[in-house]
Every structure is written in C-alpha cells, then in structure tokens.
C-alpha cells in the first residue's frame, strides 16, 4: 500500500517524465524548412561547379545572417574571406574575378578597366584605361586618381591596419611612401609607383616583376576611395560605394542594410547581377539558433559560410540535403613543426609517420564537415598542386608506426621525446585535433602536452618566433587559405624564409631554405600561370622533404542555401563560398 508521500513522489516523477517526453519529441521533430516559396531545383551539391536556379529576375530582399562581423568593411582593411566576397556589393576594382562557378571564378576579367591591362615586355609596367560611365554613389565619375588614392591607403598601416599589404610589398618594398595621411603633396597622391597621367589612365610601375600582380589588383584592397569621402579609420562604418549597392545603415556586430545604388550602371559591369532590391545582414551570438533560423527559412544564407554547426548538421543532412552544398574551401588544416624547437628532421618525420590522419579527419568533423585527407601542402585549386603526391603515405589514413620508430632511432631518441602542442583555446575543432595528435603520438612514446593559448592573441603568441621558442611549441595546429589562388598567395607566407616576422609570423616552422626562396623568385617573374605552377610544385616537394608540416585535411564545409535563392554557385576565388554578387531571391 502506498502512502501519501509515495504517491506524491510518483506523481512528481510522472510529471517529470511527461515533460522530458515533450522535450524529447520536440527535439526529434521540427517544422522542417520554412521556405514556402522555392526558386526551383534543390539538390545536394547542386551549387557546386554549376549554377543552380539561374535567373535574372530582380527584386526582393536577400537576407544574410552570421555569427561574426567582419574584421572591417573598409576595403583596404578587411581580411576575412567573407568580407572580400561581400565587398563586391559596394566596391569595384580595375579587374576582378569572373562570375562563374568553381575554378572558372579564378579567371580575371575587367571591372572598372576596359581590359585586364597592358603589360610591358619586362613585366614591370601595367597600364589600365578606365571604362566610361563608372560612377560613385553620388554620380561623380570614378577616376584613376580615386583608384590610386584608395591603394595608397594601404601604406597608412598605422591608421588603416589589418588588411593585406601585398600591393605595398610589390610596389614599394622599402616602404618609402608613408601613406596619404602623411603625404606632403597637395593632392595626397605622392606614391611614385603609380602614375595617373589623366582621369582615365593609371600606370603601375613595379621595381621587380611579379606574375601575380593582377591577382593583387583584384583584391578589395585595390578598390578606389574618394579623398573627400575618406573618413580614415572610421571609413569602415560607412564606405562610399562604387558598386551596385550602397550602405543604408550599419551597427557593428548587430546589423547591416544595403540598398540599391541607383547611380551604378549595369552596362559598365559584367560581373555583378545586382538582383535583390535590398541586402540585409543580421549578426547573432547564438550559432545554433542561427542554423535553426536558416533551416526555417527566416534567412537565406550564412554570410560567414563556416558551415552548419554540429547541433544541426545531422538534421540538415538527413532532412534538408537538397539545401546544402559541400564545397572545398581551399583551406588546408595542418600541424607545423617549428625547427627552433624540433631541429632534427627525423624527429619531425617520426611525428608525421605516427599521426593518425583518419582520426584527425574525424576530429575535424569527418569527410563532409572536415574535409578530404591531405597529403601535401598545396590545395587542389592552386596551379602546381598534386593531391595524389603522398611522400609519407598519409592518404592511407592510418599511422605507420614502424617508420615512426625507425625515424626515432635515426633522430637519436629511440625512447621518444617530449614536446608541446600549441592550439587556440577558442577553436574546439582544433583542440580535438590536438587531442588526436597527442593520442597517436603516445604509441611511439612521444609525450605531447597540449597548451591551449588565447586564440585572440594568435598574432603575438604563435606569430612570435621568440614566444614559440620560449614556450617550446614543437607542434602548432593551424589552418591556411590562399589570399589569391596561386602558389605565391598560398605558400609564400608559409615557407619563404624572407617572410619570417617577429610578430604576426605565419612561417611557423621558420624554414629559410635558399633553394625554396630562389624558386619563389623564379615563379614570381613567371607570367605564364602553368609554368609558375611547375615551380610551385617543386617548392611543395621541397616543403614535404623538409618534414615541417603535417597536413590534415583539404577543408570542406556544409553550407546552407535557402530555397528562395537564385543564381547559386560556389566560387573557388572566394574559398568555396557562394558568389554573393550573383545571388538573387524569389520574392
């Protein structure tokens, strides 16, 4: 016989069980995609290497959502990949990437210029003529001087910091010019390497030839900025538009609204479709909630394009597979071995052989969310890449303990050694890969301790060779994507010894091989991309031989597109993101 207290306990238990069932049922259910109006076909990977739902229909609002704001919306300061893609809504350059899917997007086409430039036989002079009818958002013409002034802003690194500085390195390697804010010339156009004989002509004079110079001119950092509209460091808050949309409002980390720039003339622009009437971006701090809202159709696309999070991943792949693409991002995720900490090549080889690439791939999220196993340090989209080159047998996906032990013998440490794995504390996936490394290395008695450093201070910690040596970081977990699709854009910051910096260093292994440096010099002079590719292939082989990197994966993401979207395709030029400038929506 039950007493009152027992009955109450049972009643309370039943209530709790009922509540749990409600919650569980809720978790298993879901309203499904809220995309009431579809644009057409839906297919998994339907937007990879082809255009999905092609349309020229204008109107509607394209709704982006994201969990991270850009580092800066100033064309000369932004360095995030999604910023470069989005920036084409309000910036134009002399030349830009073709509006085409996949590798087709890496082709350069004229934008503000009439052609892709006239190059002198010695490769030192590039001359461009501007199109007629190109205007700013107030209707005034975009001039050669505006383009020069915009590029000059890169030199003012003490004000306009954070963006890529390739043009500065190529045009003025000694940094003799100090930027327009310190320019003594009345017109603030004192940079000698760029000449603007008239409003329609701009001439670049390079001290040394660089076969990738056009790639650099296609970056947002080569965008024009009008001097009277330049608000210096605060330009990012409301850039003055040269593209099809202009800034209506912006609250950092909250929202952006772009509206049509009615002064933009479509006839002058062959790459931007400018289909939506409005473009909005909402920033959220809850990434899981963001995925839910995308699936429900409240928003169209994740501006960051870093992939659907683990919480929604299965649901998306099982119930909404037609709404996702799984492109390669062009990033390689890897471990670098600083030579100052592990100087013996055989010790480094022991780490490479002992690592379990399948486990590392799983830690990164598996084949779809993590990517394909990588065996060398050039991504497939870069000329000179050979994804099958596998000097350490890593494509097999399992450790080679016999070779690891043999390498340890040669290294003089048959009983293993101790080292430290440096990993960012704000990247759970990287921490998982560090743990996978740690586990695999135990098999050959390599005792790797994991040090989770402050991810916000990457530049000053693993970017400082001094700190790396002091902390004894023998293994650094990192990732890298090309700033522009060439061997120079991807490999040079990582393996050219002349790129070793005391702060903000990316050549973590601190390799400084004259043969590699020399090959870069040869490749930079080469204007034929195929021939340059052969040289980058040689560099890549030498990098593998030096055993300074263990690549994990050629990264892939699972990215969401709403059913409302038209003209959807991923572009290699934008790290596998959708070409934002081509997207449209059904109303």
Our CB check for another protein shows the closer of 114 and 286 to be 286
Among 55, 201, 227, 292, binds another protein (CB under 8 A): 292
Q: Which of 6, 24, 249, 503 binds another protein (CB under 8 A)?
A: 503
Cβ–Cβ contacts within 10 Å for residue 114, how many? 13
Per CB under 8 A, 198 contacts another protein = no
Residue 10 in contact with another protein, rule: CB under 8 A: no
**156 counts as binding another protein under rule CB under 8 A:** yes
Is residue 209 close enough to count as binding another protein by CB under 8 A? no
Q: For residue 164, give the 3-state DSSP assignment.
A: coil
Tokens representing residue 458 in the block = 């990457």
Q: Rounded distance, CA 143 to CA 150, Å?
A: 11
24 near another protein, rule: CB under 8 A: no
Q: How far is the CB of 173 from another protein (least distance, A)?
A: 13
Give the interface segment with another protein, choosing from 48-56, 178-186, 515-523, 546-554 (CB under 8 A): 178-186
Q: Contact region for another protein (CB under 8 A) — 35-43, 141-149, 156-164, 264-272?
A: 156-164
d(CA 235, CA 74): 6
Binding-site string for another protein from residue 242 to residue 281, where x marks contact by CB under 8 A and - marks none: ---------xxxx---------------------------
Instruction: Say what angle helices 529-545 and 514-525 make with each other, to 10 degrees.
Output: 170
How far is Cα 224 from Cα 240, in angstroms, rounded to an integer?
10
Least Å distance, CB 415 to another protein, is 32
286 is a contact residue toward another protein (CB under 8 A)? yes
8 A C-beta contact, residue 116 and residue 245 = no
> Applying CB under 8 A, which part among 340-348, 430-438, 503-511, 548-556 lies near another protein?
503-511
Q: Does 415 bind another protein (CB under 8 A)?
A: no
Minimum CB–partner distance for residue 124 and another protein (Å): 23
Task: Report the residue from 227, 284, 438, 538 that binds another protein according to the rule CB under 8 A.
Answer: 284
By CB under 8 A, residue 159 contacts another protein: yes
> Is 6 one of the binding residues for another protein (CB under 8 A)?
no
In the numeric block, the tokens 């010894």 are attached to 497
SS3 251: strand
What three-state secondary structure class fits 58?
A: coil
CB nearer to another protein: give 119 or 237.
237
Characterize the bridge pairing of strands 61-66 and 301-302.
parallel
User: Would you say 128 or 283 has its CB closer to another protein?
Assistant: 283
Residue 167 C-beta: closest distance to another protein, Å: 11
Specify which residues 500 forms β-bridges with: none
If you ran DSSP here, which 8-state letter would residue 484 be given?
S
Beta carbons within 8 Å of 454's beta carbon, 6+ residues apart? 424, 425, 426, 461
Cα torsion through 526, 532, 538, 542, rounded to 10 = 70
Which residue from 228, 267, 285, 515 is in contact with another protein, where contact means CB under 8 A? 285
**Any idea what DSSP says for residue 99?**
S
Total residues contacting another protein by CB under 8 A comes to 61
Contacts of 574 (CB under 8 A, 6+ apart): 81, 84, 85, 97, 105, 580
Q: How far is residue 240's CA from residue 248's CA, in Å, rounded to a whole number?
A: 11
Tell me: does residue 12 bind another protein (CB under 8 A): yes
CB of 80 or CB of 392, closer to another protein: 80
Near another protein by CB under 8 A: residue from 248, 265, 288, 435: 288
| In the block, residue with structure tokens 């409005």 | 278
User: In the set 163, 474, 479, 533, which binds another protein (CB under 8 A)?
Assistant: 163
Considering Cα of 433, then 439, then 445, then 451, what sign does the dihedral take? Answer: positive
Binding of another protein at residue 344 (CB under 8 A)? no
Q: Of 212, 225, 292, which is closest to residue 77 (Cα–Cα)?
A: 225
Smallest separation (angstroms) from another protein to the CB of 290 = 8
459 sits near another protein (criterion: CB under 8 A) = yes
d(CA 96, CA 135): 17
Q: Which stretch binds another protein (CB under 8 A): 52-60, 201-209, 226-234, 348-356?
A: 226-234
Residue closer to another protein, measured from CB, 251 or 587: 251
Q: Which is nearer to another protein, 98 or 427 (CB)?
A: 427
The answer to whether the beta carbons of residues 30 and 319 sit under 8 Å apart is yes
Give the DSSP H or E segment for 256: strand 255-260
Q: Residue from 113, 217, 236, 324 that binds another protein (CB under 8 A)?
A: 236
- 278-283, strands of its sheet edge to edge: 245-251, 255-260, 278-283, 61-66, 301-302
Stretch that binds another protein, among 118-126, 131-139, 153-161, 268-276 (CB under 8 A): 153-161
Is 389 exposed, middle or buried, given 0-12, 13-18 or 19+ CB atoms closer than 10 A? middle
Using rule CB under 8 A, residue 79 touches another protein:
yes
Nearer to another protein, 99 or 167 (CB): 167
Q: How far is the CB of 48 from another protein (least distance, A)?
A: 27
Query: Among candidates 109, 569, 553, 573, which has minimal Cα distance to 382?
Result: 573
Q: Which is nearer to another protein, 47 or 164 (CB)?
A: 164
Q: Tell me the Cα Rg of the chain.
A: 26
Looking at residue 89, the DSSP 8-state letter turns out to be G
Query: Which part of the chain contacts another protein (CB under 8 A), choosing from 51-59, 120-128, 208-216, 462-470?
Result: 462-470
Using the minimum distance from each CB to another protein, give the nearer residue, 8 or 418. Answer: 8
CB atoms within 10 A of CB 73: 24
Told to check if 420 binds another protein by CB under 8 A, we report no
Does 500 engage in binding with another protein (CB under 8 A)? no
DSSP string across 418-463: EEEEEEETT-HHHHHHHHHHHHHHHTTT-EEEEEEE-GGGTTTTTT
Residues of the shown chain interacting with another protein in the complex, contacts defined by CB under 8 A: 8, 12, 22-23, 26-27, 29-31, 71-72, 77, 79, 156-159, 161-166, 175, 178-179, 181-182, 232-234, 236-237, 251-254, 284-286, 288-289, 292, 296, 426, 454, 456-457, 459-461, 463-464, 467, 470, 493, 501-504, 506
């Amino acid at each position: 016989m039950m007493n009152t207290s027992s009955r109450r306990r049972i009643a309370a238990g039943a209530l709790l069980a009922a509540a749990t069932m409600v919650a569980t049922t809720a978790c298993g259910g879901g309203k499904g995609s809220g995309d009431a109006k579809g644009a057409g076909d839906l297919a998994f990977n339907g937007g990879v290497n082809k255009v999905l739902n092609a349309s020229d229909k204008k109107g509607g609002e394209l709704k982006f959502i994201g969990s991270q704001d850009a580092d800066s919306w100033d064309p000369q300061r932004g360095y995030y990949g999604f910023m470069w893609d989005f920036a084409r809504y309000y910036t134009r350059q002399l030349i830009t990437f073709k509006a085409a899917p996949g590798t087709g997007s890496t082709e350069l086409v004229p934008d503000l210029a009439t052609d892709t430039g006239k190059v002198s036989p010695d490769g030192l002079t590039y001359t461009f003529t501007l199109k007629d009818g190109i205007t700013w958002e107030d209707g005034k013409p975009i001039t050669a001087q505006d383009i020069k002034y915009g590029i000059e802003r890169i030199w003012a690194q003490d004000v306009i910091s954070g963006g890529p500085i390739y043009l500065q390195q190529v045009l003025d390697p000694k940094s003799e010019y100090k930027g327009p804010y310190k320019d003594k010339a009345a017109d603030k156009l004192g940079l000698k390497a760029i000449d603007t004989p008239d409003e329609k002509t701009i001439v670049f004079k390079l001290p040394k030839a660089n076969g990738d110079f056009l790639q650099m001119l296609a970056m947002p950092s080569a965008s024009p900025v009008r001097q009277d509209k330049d608000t210096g460091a605060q330009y990012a808050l409301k850039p003055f538009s040269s593209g099809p949309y202009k800034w209506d409002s912006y609250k950092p980390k909250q929202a952006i609204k772009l509206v049509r720039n009615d002064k933009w003339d479509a006839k002058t622009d062959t790459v931007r479709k400018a289909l939506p009437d409005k473009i909005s971006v909402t920033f959220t701090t809850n990434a899981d909630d963001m995925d839910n809202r995308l699936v429900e159709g409240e928003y169209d696309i994740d501006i960051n394009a870093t992939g659907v999070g683990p919480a929604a991943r299965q649901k998306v792949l099982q119930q909404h597979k037609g709404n996702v693409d799984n492109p390669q991002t062009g990033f390689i995720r890897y471990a670098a071995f600083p030579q100052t900490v592990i100087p013996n090549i055989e010790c480094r080889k022991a780490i490479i052989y002992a690592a379990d690439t399948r486990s590392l791939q799983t830690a990164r999220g598996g084949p779809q969310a993590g990517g394909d196993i990588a065996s060398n340090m050039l991504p497939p989209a870069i000329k000179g890449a050979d994804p099958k080159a596998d000097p350490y047998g890593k494509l097999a996906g399992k450790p080679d303990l016999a070779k690891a032990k043999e390498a340890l013998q040669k290294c003089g440490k048959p009983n293993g050694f101790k080292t430290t794995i440096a990993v960012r504390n704000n990247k759970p996936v990287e921490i998982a890969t560090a743990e996978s490394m740690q586990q695999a290395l135990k098999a050959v008695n390599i005792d790797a301790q994991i040090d989770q450093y402050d991810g916000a201070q990457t530049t000053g910690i693993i970017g400082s060779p001094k700190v790396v040596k002091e902390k004894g970081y023998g293994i650094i977990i990192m990732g890298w994507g090309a700033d522009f699709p060439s061997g120079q854009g991807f490999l040079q910051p990582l393996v050219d010894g002349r790129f070793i910096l005391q702060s903000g260093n990316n050549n973590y292994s601190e390799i400084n091989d004259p043969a590699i440096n020399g090959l870069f010099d040869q490749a930079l002079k080469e204007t034929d991309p195929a021939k340059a590719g052969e040289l980058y292939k040689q560099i890549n082989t030498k990098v593998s031989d030096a055993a300074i990197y263990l690549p994990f994966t050629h990264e892939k993401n699972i990215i969401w597109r709403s059913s409302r979207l038209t003209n959807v395709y991923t572009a290699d030029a934008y790290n596998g993101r959708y070409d934002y400038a081509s997207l449209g929506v059904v109303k």
